Structure formats: structure tokens, C-alpha cells
């Protein structure tokens, strides 16, 4: 994909931030030391990575978004902090080695989110002042409303830019973007606590705000580490049939990678994509029973392998849905005389298509286009046509076949 439009837009945003920050800052020099404190905190906060539930990263500098308008009454001063804070944050992330493509997504989404927050907060503040409502409750309400605007606009922009860059389903990108709301809530709460504490206890506001956030941060890191460990364990289990010579080497990993890409293209929720990946990785786990001479003598079918595999996976209660996908992934999407098998999950149909495609390309040595033609011919009963079309889109986006 041509990245030039996104690059030019990013450069334009950087130039606009620099110009607006300078103009707004010159208009609000009375509070220059508070502005510098907030800009520095926003930039330094981007040294602290906060793992989000969606597997992506947020940064502690987000807390400054909530604190700035509560500490600076003027919209020009807040705008200057956001503009220069964004520029400094991008520089920090660039020095940390964050890929330029991720920097552009962060820059565009965050700039739009900051603009939405500023307009919403000061709009609500003007309404409250006109109605004679002042004080911390009015300020807190304005922050909460602005935070909602910040979150939704930022998530939408991130989804749109990520969709353009990755070609995943737009619905999937949107669901990924909004999945980090617990982290966002924690960061905004920290900023509000700091801003309300600062006028009373000054520098003590830092430890007062950071102490409760520290527990949240530890929980986010622990949760992220648990997810990584769980995934690594499943990947290791999935290789057992291959190591034993009972399944083609790399087949499970390639099937899982294709299944994830198709699931994203079809707009499955991130949690559903994760379960789809686990099921695709372990769709051949039942083959480890083929070491038993009695089973080999009695004979077996694909249904038997799927059944044995699901029994193994079901030993982990957390994977009960994954076990169901493994159990049904061998079944055709419809039988003669019926429209479709309503009991068959989309995940199971995706695994069947991805596995058949990898077998055709990896084992039979067919070209990707030939493999897709086989799947198209099998769309009468075996393979869901919607899933086959999705796989074709994935193959085109990866350059495996022409558009």
C-alpha cells in the first residue's frame, strides 16, 4: 500500500501543532511554568508504557489530558500544552524506536482526540458558567464529557487509520480501539486527582495521584503477562502432533495465522479472534492419540480426531468455547437439502477453510490461485462461500494473488 498520503498528512499535522502551539503559548505566558510542567510531564509520561487489554500500548502521558484544563483556565494555554506536548511525545516515542507507521497512527488519532476533548470540555464549561454552575462538580462533569469525546474520536480515528494501513475489517479495528477503556479510565482518573490535589498540597500531588494509579498499572502489567504466557503455552501444545510426526510441520501455525487474518477481515471481536487463533492452533491436537496401536488398528475418521482433540482442550475450563470450535471444525458448512448448518460456528468454518487452503498450498504444492479455486468448487457444501471470499481478499492484500 502507498504510505505517502498518510505521511504527508502526518507532516501537515506536525506543522499545524507547532504553529498553533507557538501562537497559543505566546498568548498565555502568564502561566508559563505550569505549562512547561504539563508539557514535560506529558512527554515524560510517554516513557511509561501501559499495556491495554487489546494487546496494544497506551502511555501515562494521557493523564495530562485531564489535568491540563483543570489547572489552566484559558483555552489558549491548554491548546499550547496539548500541541507542544504532542510534538514532544512523538519525539520521545521516536527516540524509543517506535516504528514510524505506529507513530503516524498515534499522532493522527491523538491529535483528533485532543481537539475533541478541548472543544467538548470548554463547551461544557461555557454552558455551566452561563447557568451559574461552578466548582469541582461542574469541572468534573466537563472532564468526564470531554474524556468520552476524546475516547470515542480517538478510537474512531485509530480504527480508520489502522484499517487503511492494515486492511483488517473496519469493525474489528473499531472493537480493538475501544477495548482499552479500562486503561483510559484509570489514566484520566489519575489526571483529575492530580489537578484537584495540586492547589491544596502542591508537589505532594504527584505521589498522591501516582499511588492509586500504581496498583492499577501493576494489574494491567500482570494481566498482559498472563495473556502472553497463556498464548505461548497454547502454541507449545499445538506443536506436539508435529514434533511427534503426526501432523505436517508448521501446519497449525500457518492455519492459525490465516484464520486470524480472515477473522479480522470478517470483523470478529478481538476476544473472538483470540479464541479462533487458539482453536486453529489446536485443531489437530487430537492426532496425538494416533500413537495408540489399538486406534490405528480399529481405524479413525476426521470426526474422531476432532472429537478427541476437543476432549483434550476441554480439560481447561477457560477454553470451553475453543473446545467446541475444535470439535466442529471438520464439518461441512451445509448438507444436501439444507440452506446451511445453523449450529456450526463461524470460527469452525474459518478453521476448515484456512486448514484446507494451507494443505493445498503447503502439502499439495499448489499455487495460491489453484488452492482458492479448489475452495470455490467446494463452496457448494464443504466451505462457506463468505469465508472463502474473505480468504481471497486476504490473499489479494498480501500479494499472493492478483486483484
**In sequence order, which residues have a C-beta less than 8 Å from that of residue 247 and are 6 or more positions away?**
241, 284, 287
- Write the DSSP assignment of 238-275 as a string of letters: HTHHHHTTSS-TTHHHHHHHHHHHHHHHTT--HHHHHH
Least Cα distance to 48 among 63, 36, 37 occurs for: 63
pLDDT of res. 263:
93
Q: How many CA atoms lie within 13 A of 256 on its CB side?
A: 22
- Write the DSSP assignment of 182-219 as a string of letters: HHHHHHHHHHHHHHHHHHHHGGGHHHHHHHHHHHHHHH
CA distance 387 to 357: 12
pLDDT of res. 403:
63
- Alpha helices, DSSP H only, in 299-381? 302-313, 320-328, 346-358, 368-377
CA distance 106 to 7: 13
Percent of the chain residues past pLDDT 70, beyond the cut: 88
Least confident of 5-14, 50-59, 174-183, 185-194: 5-14
The arithmetic mean of pLDDT across residues 295-299, rounded, is: 69
- Alpha helices, DSSP H only, in 96-204? 100-130, 136-166, 170-178, 181-201
Q: Quick: pLDDT tens for 49-80.
A: 888 776 677 888 889 999 999 988 788 888 88
pLDDT of res. 390:
92
Least confident of 146-150, 222-226, 250-254: 222-226
Percent of the chain residues past pLDDT 90, beyond the cut: 24
Q: Which three cell numbers stand for residue 206?
A: 504527584
The arithmetic mean of pLDDT across residues 294-303, rounded, is: 74
Can you say whether residue 340 is alpha, beta or left, with left for phi > 0 and alpha for psi between -120 and 50 degrees?
beta
pLDDT of res. 167:
56
More confident residue, 170 or 258: 258
**In sequence order, which residues have a C-beta less than 8 Å from that of residue 117 and are 6 or more positions away?**
65, 146, 147, 149, 150
Neighbours of 204 (CB within 10 A): 11
Q: How many CA atoms lie within 13 A of 369 on its CB side?
A: 4
- pLDDT bin (cut points 50, 70, 90) of residue 156 is confident
- pLDDT bin (cut points 50, 70, 90) of residue 143 is very high
CA distance 69 to 81: 10
Residues 349 and 387 sit within 8 Å (Cβ to Cβ): yes
Neighbours of 235 (CB within 10 A): 16
What is the tally of helices (H) and strands (E) in the chain? 18, 2
End-to-end CA gap in the chain: 13
More confident residue, 265 or 7: 265
Least confident of 5-14, 202-211, 357-366: 5-14
pLDDT of res. 249:
87
CA distance 229 to 234: 9
Q: Quick: pLDDT tens for 330-364.
A: 888 887 767 777 778 999 999 999 999 999 998 88
| Helical (H) or strand (E) element with 51 | strand 49-51
Least Cα distance to 72 among 1, 125, 141 occurs for: 125
pLDDT greater than 90 at residue 225:
no
Provide the whole-model pTM. 0.80
Q: What is the mean pLDDT of the chain?
A: 84
Beta-bridge partners for 58: 50
- pLDDT bin (cut points 50, 70, 90) of residue 2 is very low
Q: Quick: pLDDT tens for 164-182.
A: 555 566 677 777 778 888 8
CA distance 40 to 44: 6
Least Cα distance to 187 among 61, 38, 83 occurs for: 61
Neighbours of 13 (CB within 10 A): 19
pLDDT greater than 80 at residue 138:
yes
Least confident of 78-87, 217-226, 280-289, 293-302: 293-302
pLDDT of res. 1:
41
| Radius of gyration of the chain from its Cα atoms, rounded to whole angstroms | 26
pLDDT of res. 237:
87
For the packed helices 251-265 and 205-238, what is the interaxial angle rounded to 10 degrees? 130
**In sequence order, which residues have a C-beta less than 8 Å from that of residue 50 and are 6 or more positions away?**
57, 58, 59, 60, 183, 187, 217, 220
pLDDT greater than 50 at residue 245:
yes
pLDDT greater than 60 at residue 11:
yes
Least confident of 94-98, 152-156, 300-304, 370-374: 300-304
Neighbours of 308 (CB within 10 A): 20
Maximum average pLDDT range among 159-163, 252-256, 399-403? 252-256
Amino acid at each position: 500500500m502507498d504510505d505517502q498520503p498518510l505521511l504527508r498528512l502526518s507532516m501537515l499535522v506536525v506543522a499545524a501543532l507547532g504553529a498553533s502551539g507557538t501562537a497559543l503559548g505566546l498568548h498565555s505566558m502568564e502561566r508559563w511554568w505550569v505549562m512547561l510542567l504539563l508539557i514535560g510531564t506529558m512527554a515524560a509520561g510517554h516513557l511509561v508504557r501501559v499495556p491495554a487489554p487489546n494487546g496494544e500500548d497506551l502511555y501515562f502521558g494521557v493523564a495530562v489530558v485531564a489535568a491540563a484544563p483543570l489547572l489552566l483556565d484559558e483555552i489558549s494555554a491548554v491548546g499550547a500544552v496539548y500541541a507542544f506536548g504532542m510534538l514532544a511525545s512523538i519525539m520521545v516515542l521516536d527516540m524509543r524506536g517506535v516504528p514510524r507507521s505506529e507513530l503516524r497512527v498515534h499522532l493522527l488519532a491523538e491529535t483528533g482526540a485532543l481537539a475533541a476533548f478541548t472543544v467538548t470540555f470548554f463547551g461544557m464549561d461555557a454552558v455551566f458558567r452561563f447557568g451559574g454552575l461552578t466548582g469541582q462538580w461542574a469541572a468534573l462533569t466537563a472532564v468526564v464529557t470531554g474524556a468520552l469525546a476524546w475516547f470515542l474520536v480517538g478510537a474512531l480515528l485509530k480504527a480508520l487509520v489502522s484499517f487503511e494501513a492494515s486492511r483488517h475489517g473496519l469493525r474489528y479495528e473499531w472493537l480493538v480501539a475501544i477495548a482499552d477503556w479500562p486503561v483510559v479510565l484509570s489514566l484520566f482518573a489519575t489526571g483529575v486527582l492530580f489537578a484537584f490535589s495540586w492547589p491544596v498540597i502542591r508537589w505532594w500531588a504527584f505521589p498522591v495521584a501516582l499511588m492509586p494509579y500504581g496498583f492499577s498499572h501493576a494489574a494491567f502489567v500482570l494481566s498482559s503477562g498472563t495473556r502472553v504466557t497463556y498464548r505461548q503455552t497454547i502454541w507449545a501444545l499445538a506443536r506436539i502432533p508435529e514434533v511427534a510426526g503426526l501432523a505436517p510441520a508448521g501446519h497449525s501455525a500457518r492455519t492459525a495465522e490465516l484464520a486470524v487474518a480472515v477473522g479480522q477481515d470478517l470483523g470478529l471481536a478481538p476476544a473472538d479472534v483470540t479464541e479462533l487463533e487458539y482453536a486453529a492452533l489446536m485443531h489437530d491436537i487430537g492426532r496425538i492419540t494416533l500413537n495408540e496401536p489399538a486406534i490405528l488398528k480399529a481405524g479413525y475418521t476426521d470426526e474422531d480426531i476432532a472429537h478427541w482433540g476437543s476432549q483434550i482442550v476441554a480439560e481447561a475450563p477457560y477454553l470451553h468455547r475453543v473446545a467446541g470450535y475444535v470439535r466442529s471444525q471438520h464439518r461441512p458448512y451445509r448438507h444436501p437439502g439444507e440452506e446451511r448448518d445453523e449450529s456450526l460456528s463461524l470460527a469452525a468454518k474459518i478453521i476448515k477453510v484456512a486448514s484446507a487452503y494451507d494443505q493445498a498450498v503447503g502439502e499439495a504444492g499448489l499455487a495460491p490461485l489453484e488452492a482458492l479455486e479448489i475452495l470455490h468448487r467446494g463452496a457448494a457444501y464443504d466451505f462457506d462461500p463468505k469465508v472463502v471470499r474473505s480468504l481471497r481478499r486476504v490473499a489479494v492484500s498480501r500479494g499472493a494473488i492478483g486483484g
